[in-house]
Chains A and B, each alone.
Chain A
């Protein structure tokens, strides 16, 4: 940070402190809440955060008074505590008339432990960016020196640092001449430049370790079990406000230490919050950011909100239909956002019908809904739509995408169709989602006899099956951890291979019909860790190691995965459902759940997950909660507080209709029909069973091919081919002609304004405005061929953005 910038930041701090004097101090929080100093090296920094009545927070560490009760035990150096003698005492923190007392423990204050390669030196590689993929972490290393990517293999790294190119990387005689130090400080040419300077804490640590003989770690060295990042959250008042971040690591031997100087920091939104590697965050533009610290294999984040300085905001009390609104409003209050108004009945009718059933409302439905004076009519509509078979079909399609139902070399058309029918039965019969998923993942038998087993025919590679299960049912992409510990998530290679071990005993054998394969529990087979070739015991992802002896491993995994014991299952499914109705998930993408991609409203996601579990995984009920919430009924229009918000669901999002729904809508509106292979004439695109079936229209508009489980398979991005196909492709134009709607109405001698009104309702679910009607009548009256003129209008409506988007 440049001096000028620091000056400005300082200035901003002063200004902000005066600005906030209006709000009352409600509490102070000191981090950490208890102090433990476990050896002579151990230090602990104290961070003090003030919370004000308006929700703003401020780093007041510098202004607070910190005092140690028994100064014989702990020495205070600025805001850092250092041990002097063993014992227990307290540390008091005082600010703005409020005082906190923190218990403190000092142990082994006279012991200076040896530096550990794993615990002290490995973090340096991460902190100094040595072991990233673009540097020495690359598969073949860089400039002749290789480190394991993000430090997944500390044994190998020790070997390479100390044993390769003897005496050069490590010079025990003259530690300061070790390449590890001369390269890092760029004393000798280093492609990676200066990573730290002589005298820096990282330099000193490395030097000390080499000086002590660059010893290998003892076998019983403790492991880091978790890290905590302080403060837990912050609401910063305007550009320039700062907040110091500290990180504390907890070890398997019960100790903990301040590792702020060894942790690597990153911010999810550098436009709002900037973080320096010394842990200082600085607020920039209005917005939210997730500030993360990475240490050892752990990544933990903390939530930051940056508000415009001195924002004048008054929360307007709004009705709350259910818990969804309550939790969203809480977040809005923090963000100083007032959600949009409710949308019109017409908009709601169209939105809900499209979202819930994948159809557009008919003229009759439009008239009936608008004529209904019941104040609960929106809820009634949701219930009505949820009862229709189209709702089931839509979700069968979405599940078919997740389960990649398609014909392949392994899956015959018949197998595929039986698999699809199995899914259809489950969803149509409202089988609880957990039961369905358990049936699927634990399935055994022939691919005809028990079609769920096709899941294991779609993907036959053990590791990929494990990856798919994690991605679909837990929303996690654990692929990275196949080769190295996940850099932005908690998953290590151990987690990856232990989870994959659940799928290591899938037996497959030929059935009597050559198209059928019998999937069974073979009872034998293991997964080995590529580093060291260890046999991995099956372990739930983020969970315990169950007893699998003599049991079907998949059955045990399925029972855990689709249950309350798995914290990710209900959250993930709720998020998938949410994303369908709001265009994006609370975690977005829905299958990219990771520490570094936190939910925008964790409380809401937790609540949805809890409800989903409470509803016994009946997802119709969760859909009902979502669709009857006020949030779902908001207008797409914005106010000045939420116009820039695109992630917090403070207004409805414009969403292009997905390929199948758009084709079905055009077909329905033009009163035509489609013929897809394997389906009777008139079937809807949503009902297509085989992922391999497609048409030019569907492909152009991004129908999922179901080749992978990735949520990204459904393409929602607009492109030129789509526009051109709508304009002059053979879908819209020929369907208008085929449907003969206009000639029929003209033949029935329906007056033109009424025809226009019908067209508007059919296409846009609203009547034309006075102005639109006048303009159109003027154009049509000049036209000799009324049919042509009306068909042109029809065409124009189907090409309008109002039609193409769900709004």
Chain B
């Protein structure tokens, strides 16, 4: 017993020691920065230059320690919701955040007044503007050594109250005031009750943000309950809030009312956080019409509120904002989340009931969007409109995408009711089709629900859009479900690179990448993206004196063709909640800005030694990469070759070993590799405390046709004998000097010698020697490897394969014992009259013909006549 215990305690001690050491180091690092005369202020980017220099120097001195903060991560922003118009303290929780410097907010309205970093959190004081857009917002942390992934948090109208347990039964609820946001957690089988006083006639609305918070799979259920325990309004899922819940009712009498929240299937855990808004705010479930013309004042109806339908006129923004929403508001408050609203270049055509048959179809006009409500069960809406021959439209029904309960089915008919095209679910539950109108005339569009449902809030709108080109840029993911390396962090005096992908739709052509708002001292190196490519490398370089700063930049691309105004910009998606079945994506967040930062120096740079020769098709090349290490930095560096031109292959990683300064990246080109000069780079990562990333310069790689190609004859030989492989050379590009050629892929115990040739050589013959043990059979992978030296660098390519057949000697025929002897004699004798053997070595075909001739004409001895 004793030894085991002893072993255990000693292990524990060891752990403690190492932990202590870790914390001491962290403390040291933090103190270093704190002791600086100006506290690091995030909001002001105007750091004094001298301070920066000081910091840089310090950092250089204590490099090994302080870069522990490299590759910071952000796992959670707390609280999950904040109130606008007031000062909030927000904690950005994660890892390696001790050198946090700045918070990137993706939308306006946030002013940071203080930032307190520690290893596991950056605690920030933020003033949130009173007119800050409500709903989901995105932020991420920039540290001196990197950028975290981005996460979301929510801005709401109400002051927050934290949940206080126990509040698990109707009998012991937590008392709250109306118009409050409760921030709580639903643990396993947990039920939370909140009680509040309401006057008769008052509206009680409850809306929860839970799944939408993107923290974990948390599907909430809420109910508004009266003092007699009757559920007045309860909701599990509602289209407006997806898996989140919205309940709303009008109080019939004065008294205490309750809101209950639980996980819909009584699951839950410590991560199941919620913002539960309870108040008197209006909570309509739909807006109609759910879109309008940009810049115009539009009259809309808010539907589905227990207090009834209200009509408002809203002034719409002048530009299209994809995430635009209307926030219902009245004298009792404002809804904490908006009703999605489409901004469109054209106006609205509204349905007029009855329009339930083709004959009754209501008139609508293009290019207006058609709007309607599937108002009751089995309701069908028909619109009659005129289109011209040859018009092509993307016809999109927006229903679930504007959070309507409708699951639309859309059909198009001609004026006489002939069916033309239909769709149910091409856009998730929504419908879409592209249609080319075959003739001028009237057409009828039909919209209904897939299950024949209907109701007051079953709003939809159909938009007809001419087919327009679109373009989106992105960074291909390097890890599933992760934002790893979806940010640009360039070490000072160094480079960082990424691949930018472009998805073009409805057009093709070359693209030019552009960036706007790069941090001071950062330059972007990129070539135009050819029409046939959807990815290209981009290298960002930071000057040695570039300030440690960052920005959310706008990365865009445009079509290079003259008179083209096709352009598009960067988009990135974070997978926030992934769960069963089959790793389904429940919550995600798309952003359109690219975070980029200059980070602290990294103790090495990488350089590709620009190759002087091309990589030829079917050839190989060893790309030399040099690591310029800072004095004393010896760690191994792992190289990657992220951008591979079409047809070029290589290994996933190559390592520059510890203490070494160079490595060769082996590249190979297939026979169909695309011939072009390509931009290339290598990306290196090494342990600098955390992981530091650095790229080489943007070098070029030329992919070219081989200078010489071979055609090789097939050969056959009997075990123990010799044969020849006859090669014809085709010179595509002349070269100087001599080239060497080597036959590879020969089976065991078969030998030949390497040969040389020059630009004038037309034919080569390899003498192939076998012995008795050379394996019999067809050996199909015999090929020649040609190495031509140009500018002192080798260019290696591979000629087409040929076949070497090795046969076992024939057994002697049973009844003809004397015969076998003279036959080899004949062969042996044959060379005799060969003072001119090189004149014409026989090809395999010729040999076979000869052999056949000898068989049919045995008396005639080979070539004697």
The answer to whether B429 touches A511 (Cβ under 8 A) is: yes
The answer to whether B219 touches A520 (Cβ under 8 A) is: no
* CB-defined contacts of B407 to chain A, threshold 8 Å: 518
Central interface residue in B236, B428, B451, B585, by most chain A CB within 10 Å: B451
Q: A444-B451, A518-B450 are in contact. Are A678 and B429 (CB under 8 A)?
A: no
The answer to whether A512 touches B189 (Cβ under 8 A) is: no
**Minimum Cβ distance to chain B for residue A454 (Å):** 13
Return the chain B residue nearest A414 by Cβ: B265
Within the assembled complex, what's the spacing in Å between the Cα atoms of A412 and B579? 11
Within 8 A of B (CB), among A215-246: none
Contact with B along A651-682 (1 / 0, CB 8 A): 00000000000000000000000000011100
The answer to whether A514 touches B581 (Cβ under 8 A) is: yes
Q: A520-B450, A680-B189 are in contact. Are A412 and B581 (CB under 8 A)?
A: yes
Tally A residues with Cβ within 8 Å of B.
Answer: 20
B71 on the interface (CB 8 Å rule)? no
* CB-defined contacts of A520 to chain B, threshold 8 Å: 450-451
**Minimum Cβ distance to chain B for residue A411 (Å):** 10
Return the chain A residue nearest B191 by Cβ: A680
Contact with B along A542-574 (1 / 0, CB 8 A): 000000000000000000000000000000000
The listed residue (B265, B424, B428, B579) touching A678 by CB distance below 8 A is B265
The listed residue (B428, B451, B582) touching A512 by CB distance below 8 A is B428
Return the chain B residue nearest A415 by Cβ: B265
The answer to whether A512 touches B242 (Cβ under 8 A) is: yes
Within 8 A of A (CB), among B397-454: 400, 407, 424-425, 428-429, 450-451
A122 on the interface (CB 8 Å rule)? no
The answer to whether A413 touches B429 (Cβ under 8 A) is: no
Within 8 A of A (CB), among B230-259: 236-237, 239, 242-243
A409 on the interface (CB 8 Å rule)? yes
* CB-defined contacts of A678 to chain B, threshold 8 Å: 189, 265-267
Return the chain B residue nearest A514 by Cβ: B584
Interface contacts (Cβ under 8 Å), in number, total: 49
* CB-defined contacts of A413 to chain B, threshold 8 Å: 265, 267
Return the chain B residue nearest A448 by Cβ: B237
Return the chain B residue nearest A520 by Cβ: B451
Return the chain B residue nearest A680 by Cβ: B189
B586 on the interface (CB 8 Å rule)? yes
B823 on the interface (CB 8 Å rule)? no
Q: A412-B580, A412-B581 are in contact. Are A512 and B429 (CB under 8 A)?
A: yes
Q: A412-B581, A414-B219, A520-B450 are in contact. Are A514 and B267 (CB under 8 A)?
A: no
Within 8 A of A (CB), among B491-508: none
Contact with A along B681-698 (1 / 0, CB 8 A): 000000000000000000
Contact with B along A491-528 (1 / 0, CB 8 A): 00000000000000000011111110010100000000
**Minimum Cβ distance to chain A for residue B368 (Å):** 28
**Minimum Cβ distance to chain A for residue B664 (Å):** 47
* CB-defined contacts of A445 to chain B, threshold 8 Å: 451
* CB-defined contacts of B189 to chain A, threshold 8 Å: 678-680
The answer to whether A514 touches B265 (Cβ under 8 A) is: no
Return the chain A residue nearest B581 by Cβ: A514
The answer to whether A512 touches B581 (Cβ under 8 A) is: no
B730 on the interface (CB 8 Å rule)? no
The listed residue (A414, A510, A518) touching B264 by CB distance below 8 A is A414
Contact with A along B574-603 (1 / 0, CB 8 A): 000001111011100000000000000000
Within the assembled complex, what's the spacing in Å between the Cα atoms of A444 and B424? 16
Tally B residues with Cβ within 8 Å of A.
Answer: 26
The listed residue (A448, A510, A514) touching B236 by CB distance below 8 A is A448
* CB-defined contacts of B582 to chain A, threshold 8 Å: 514
* CB-defined contacts of B242 to chain A, threshold 8 Å: 512-513
Return the chain A residue nearest B450 by Cβ: A520
Within the assembled complex, what's the spacing in Å between the Cα atoms of A210 and B508? 78
Within 8 A of B (CB), among A413-463: 413-414, 417, 444-445, 448
Within the assembled complex, what's the spacing in Å between the Cα atoms of A422 and B451? 20
The listed residue (B237, B265, B266, B451) touching A513 by CB distance below 8 A is B237
* CB-defined contacts of A444 to chain B, threshold 8 Å: 451
Return the chain A residue nearest B428 by Cβ: A512
The listed residue (A409, A417, A509, A518) touching B265 by CB distance below 8 A is A417
**Minimum Cβ distance to chain B for residue A413 (Å):** 5
The answer to whether B428 touches A518 (Cβ under 8 A) is: no
Within the assembled complex, what's the spacing in Å between the Cα atoms of A444 and B242? 20
Within the assembled complex, what's the spacing in Å between the Cα atoms of A520 and B407? 12
* CB-defined contacts of A518 to chain B, threshold 8 Å: 407, 450-451
* CB-defined contacts of B243 to chain A, threshold 8 Å: 513
Within the assembled complex, what's the spacing in Å between the Cα atoms of A442 and B585? 31
* CB-defined contacts of A448 to chain B, threshold 8 Å: 236-237
Return the chain B residue nearest A515 by Cβ: B581
Within the assembled complex, what's the spacing in Å between the Cα atoms of A178 and B300? 90
* CB-defined contacts of A680 to chain B, threshold 8 Å: 189
The answer to whether B450 touches A409 (Cβ under 8 A) is: no
**Minimum Cβ distance to chain B for residue A346 (Å):** 38
**Minimum Cβ distance to chain B for residue A351 (Å):** 34
**Minimum Cβ distance to chain B for residue A676 (Å):** 10
**Minimum Cβ distance to chain B for residue A760 (Å):** 36
* CB-defined contacts of B400 to chain A, threshold 8 Å: 512
Within 8 A of B (CB), among A713-750: none
Within the assembled complex, what's the spacing in Å between the Cα atoms of A417 and B242? 19
Return the chain B residue nearest A510 by Cβ: B425
The listed residue (A409, A417, A509) touching B425 by CB distance below 8 A is A509
* CB-defined contacts of B428 to chain A, threshold 8 Å: 512
Return the chain A residue nearest B236 by Cβ: A448
**Minimum Cβ distance to chain B for residue A481 (Å):** 33
Return the chain B residue nearest A678 by Cβ: B266
Within the assembled complex, what's the spacing in Å between the Cα atoms of A488 and B582? 45
Contact with B along A394-421 (1 / 0, CB 8 A): 0000000000000001001110010000
* CB-defined contacts of B451 to chain A, threshold 8 Å: 444-445, 518, 520
* CB-defined contacts of A679 to chain B, threshold 8 Å: 189, 266
* CB-defined contacts of B219 to chain A, threshold 8 Å: 414
Return the chain B residue nearest A513 by Cβ: B243
Within 8 A of A (CB), among B535-562: none
Within the assembled complex, what's the spacing in Å between the Cα atoms of A417 and B267? 11
Within the assembled complex, what's the spacing in Å between the Cα atoms of A713 and B274? 42
* CB-defined contacts of B236 to chain A, threshold 8 Å: 448
* CB-defined contacts of B581 to chain A, threshold 8 Å: 409, 412, 514-515
**Minimum Cβ distance to chain A for residue B684 (Å):** 39
Central interface residue in A445, A514, A520, by most chain B CB within 10 Å: A514
* CB-defined contacts of B267 to chain A, threshold 8 Å: 413, 678
Q: A414-B265, A678-B265 are in contact. Are A514 and B450 (CB under 8 A)?
A: no
**Minimum Cβ distance to chain B for residue A550 (Å):** 14
**Minimum Cβ distance to chain B for residue A244 (Å):** 61
Within the assembled complex, what's the spacing in Å between the Cα atoms of A678 and B243? 20
Within the assembled complex, what's the spacing in Å between the Cα atoms of A513 and B236? 12
**Minimum Cβ distance to chain B for residue A439 (Å):** 15
Within the assembled complex, what's the spacing in Å between the Cα atoms of A444 and B452? 10
Return the chain A residue nearest B452 by Cβ: A444
**Minimum Cβ distance to chain A for residue B180 (Å):** 28
Contact with A along B265-296 (1 / 0, CB 8 A): 11100000000000000000000000000000
* CB-defined contacts of B586 to chain A, threshold 8 Å: 513-514
Within the assembled complex, what's the spacing in Å between the Cα atoms of A395 and B579? 34
Within the assembled complex, what's the spacing in Å between the Cα atoms of A515 and B578? 12
* CB-defined contacts of A412 to chain B, threshold 8 Å: 580-581
Within the assembled complex, what's the spacing in Å between the Cα atoms of A96 and B586? 86
Central interface residue in A409, A414, A444, A679, by most chain B CB within 10 Å: A414
* 4 closest residue pairs by CB, A with B: A514-B584, A414-B265, A417-B265, A413-B265
Q: Which residues on A are within 8 Å of B, measured CB to CB?
A: 409, 412-414, 417, 444-445, 448, 509-515, 518, 520, 678-680
Can you show 8 pairs from A to B with CB atoms below 8 A apart?
Answer: A412-B580, A414-B219, A414-B265, A444-B451, A511-B429, A518-B451, A678-B266, A679-B189
Given contacts A413-B265, A448-B237, A520-B451, 8 further A-B contacts (CB under 8 A): A412-B581, A413-B267, A448-B236, A509-B424, A510-B425, A513-B237, A513-B243, A678-B189
